[in-house]
Amino acid sequence: MEFLVGFQNSFTSEVLGFSGGIWLLWNDNITIDIVKVHPPVVHMRITQGSSAFISSAVYASLQKMRELWKAFDDFAYYVCEPWILAGHFNSILGGSERQWGQVKGA
């Protein structure tokens, strides 16, 4: 794969249904250690020099979000470093979470 996209390192998570899984691509100037894979989330520690943080990459359907927030809460208990969550978070679970605009179907 590296000759196609120009990265020296890669990791792919398991494909779930119609999801293509999560692909991580990085060069040798950083180190990525996979901490935990809990489809549809990959938790990793990213290190560059003496700096490190935890990152969680998410690709989930709206139906899985309540379950995922519980899993994040459980995982957070063990996190002692800065932590960033990134991925598909542009969905809301209900109209009560919306701050602006109209709720669809209202």
Give dist(CA 88, CA 60) in Å, integer.
Answer: 7
Per-residue pLDDT of the chain (106 residues; tens, 9 = 90+): 545 578 889 998 877 665 667 889 999 999 999 999 987 889 999 999 999 999 999 887 766 777 888 888 999 999 999 999 988 765 666 667 666 666 555 5
- How many Å apart are CA 36 and CA 43, to the nearest integer? 5
CA distances from 80 to 35, 50, 64, 76, 84 (A): 13, 15, 26, 8, 12
Q: What is the pTM of this model?
A: 0.75
What domains can be seen in the chain, in order of their start residue? 2-97 (3.60.10.10)
CA torsion, ordered 85, 91, 97, 103, to nearest 10 deg: 160
Structure tokens belonging to residue 24: 């991580």
